[in-house]
Amino acid sequence: MNSKADTHVHTYYSGVSNYKVLRFPESIIKPEVQVERARKNGMNVLCITDHDAVKGAFEAQKYAKKYDDIEIVVGEEVTSADGEVLAYWLNELVPPGLPIEETIDIIHEQGGLAVAPHPFSFYVPCLRDRIFDLNLDGIEVINGGHVDHFTNTKAQQVFKEHPGRWAPFSGSDAHSVYTTGYNWTEFEGSGAEDFRTAIENKKTIACGQPAPAFAQVQWSIEVVMGAQKMLLKALAGTLEPDEDNPLITKMISISDVKKIGGLIGGFFYLLPPMPFLAEFAATKWLSRKSHALLNELDTKFQMDREQVFKICVYVPVEYSDKMMDAIDAVIEPLYPGYRRAFSITEVTGTWKPLKGSHPYKGRPGKIETAQEHKIEFIVKENDLKRVLLKIREVHPYEEPMIDVSPTYAWKSML
Ligand SMILES: [Fe+2]
């Protein structure tokens, strides 16, 4: 039986984001709300991975103890000095800001697992090519928050090029309930322990798609409205301090001028159709940027392909064995464990020798025919000249018919 895990979910413990001049809550969702939503989405395992925080994950774990259809893995999305890394099965907070090697060591020393989220994002701090030299247990090949086409495509391509190296992950990266349920990681078994075994055996399956743009709009409206309510209450002095809620602590701590600034900004953002326009502009930017990056990826893919040549040579049937032996003796075999790999088609060749020619068969001025073998095979570029000279040397015809066409070695395209 296969079960589902959402491997990347945030709560209001993720705090306030600093994106250039914009400051907004990462999430206003309580841990228990994410647990209920995950159950509704049919998840058997939920990993709470707040930014540089584990309190919400422990809260969710405590809350979910009453259910036997879901288990919570205590996780964290750690902001290392070199990019974000997801940590699972933690006992305590992994400190942010350390070099990535040290961060991963701390995760493993706790008995945890380390996974690269959105490893090729072009707008979120991530590990990129560092994943190749780090001791990671998995990489996210589907990140539900990345709708840009490049990030997930590139991660999937890299994953395919390194079979068995990492466990593939698909996490919603949901900062809201609206963006959950569209993608998940499947594993054989039922609970968190089976999930861990599947990761260690690299047997997880990444499923689903990123959440649609509309769900992202819902998240942004939810976050701004939630922040507006808190700011209003904070201004009126009715916002109860709650040391467990980092958003409330933040809202109370900022100056009244900043509170009013935030309220005005939020008010304009919520004016219809502003959230939709903002999402449209963001999606447009992402799609333009990812289009350019995908083109680069394609070009690189083209360059990585191994160029080989397909040769077709037409010889009289009685010469075909001699020809194949001669060719086989001068080329490097393309198929390990095999030699003399050719394809033969029987064809009828026809020609009219002219005066002064020295035909293998026939007389000048008369149309001649002969049963021929069309011999087809692939050679590497290094062998090309040598094999053409050999064909010329062995062929009985004065003017042999030889076609050469460039092509690609199919194994280099996988
Ligand atoms: Fe995240």
Contact between 11 and 50 (Cβ < 8 Å) = yes
Confidence of residue 223 (pLDDT cuts 50, 70, 90): confident
Centre of ligand 1 to C-alpha 358, Å, is: 77
Ligand 1 center–CA 270 separation, angstroms: 24
In DSSP notation, 359-398 reads: -SS--TTS-EEEEEEEEEEEEEHHHHHHHHHHHHHH--SS
Tokens of 157: 């391509």
Quote the ligand 1 centre to 9 CA distance (angstroms): 7
Which one-letter DSSP state was computed for residue 130?
Answer: G
Can you give the pLDDT at residue 59?
96
57 CA to centre of ligand 1 in angstroms = 14
Report CA(102)–ligand 1 centroid distance (Å). Answer: 20
Place of tokens 């009244």: 256
Q: What's the mean pLDDT in 65-80?
A: 97
Mean pLDDT of 46-64: 97
Q: What per-residue confidence (pLDDT) applies to 19?
A: 55
Backbone angles phi, psi at 101, to 5 degrees: -60, -45
Distance of alpha carbon 126 from alpha carbon 113, whole angstroms: 17
Could you tell me the two tokens for 241? 């301090």
Q: What's the average model confidence in pLDDT over 211-223?
A: 82
> What pLDDT score does 251 carry?
78
pLDDT at 301 (0 to 100): 61
CA of 160 to the centre of ligand 1 (A): 23
pLDDT above 70 as % of the chain:
96
State in Å: Cα 84 to ligand 1 middle: 8
Instruction: Give me the long-range contacts of 100-109 (CB less than 8 A, separation at least 24).
Output: 100/127, 100/130, 100/134, 101/134, 103/78, 104/134, 104/135, 104/136, 107/78, 108/135
- CB contact set of 145 (below 8 Å; sequence gap of 6+): 118, 172, 173, 174, 175, 179, 210, 211, 216
- Residue 81 CA to ligand 1 centre (angstroms): 16
* CA 75 to ligand 1 center in whole angstroms: 11
Q: In this structure, what token pair is assigned to residue 224?
A: 């701004």
Residue-wise pLDDT for 230-249, tens only, equals: 888 888 888 888 877 877 88
Mean pLDDT of the chain: 90
Q: Which of 82-96, 277-291, 325-339, 395-409 has the lowest mean pLDDT?
A: 277-291
Ligand 1 centroid from CA 161, angstroms: 25
The span from the CA of 406 to the CA of 373, in Å, is 21
The residue that leads in pLDDT, 60 or 17, is 60
Position with higher pLDDT, 94 vs 286: 94
Closest to 174 measured CA to CA, from 40, 362, 62: 40
164-181: per-residue pLDDT in tens? 999 999 999 999 999 999
What separation in Å is there between the alpha carbon of 293 and the centre of ligand 1? Answer: 22
**219 Cα to the center of ligand 1, angstroms:** 14
Say what the pLDDT of residue 305 is. Answer: 72
DSSP conformation letters of 228-269: HHHHHHHHHT-----TT-HHHHHHHHS-HHHHHHHHHHHHHH
Ligand 1 centre from 380 Cα, in Å?
A: 46
The whole-number pLDDT of residue 257 equals 82
- Residue 21, pLDDT score: 53
Cα 24 to ligand 1 centroid, rounded to whole Å: 15
CA dist list (Å): 268 to 228, 263, 272, 283: 11, 9, 9, 20
Range of 63-77, 208-222, 260-274, 287-301 with top mean pLDDT: 63-77
Give me the mean pLDDT over the 319-323 stretch: 96
Answer whether residue 341 shows pLDDT above 70: yes
- pLDDT score recorded for residue 149: 82
Per-residue model confidence (pLDDT) at position 81: 96
Instruction: Give me ligand 1 centre to Cα 25, in Å.
Output: 13
Q: In this prediction, what percent of the chain has a pLDDT beyond 90?
A: 63
Give the model confidence (pLDDT) of 283-317 as tens digits: 777 778 878 787 777 666 666 677 889 999 999 99
Residue 167 Cα to ligand 1 midpoint, Å, equals 18
As a whole number of angstroms, the distance between CA 97 and CA 261 comes to 30
- What's the gap in Å between 414 CA and the centre of ligand 1? 30
pLDDT above 80 (res 279): no
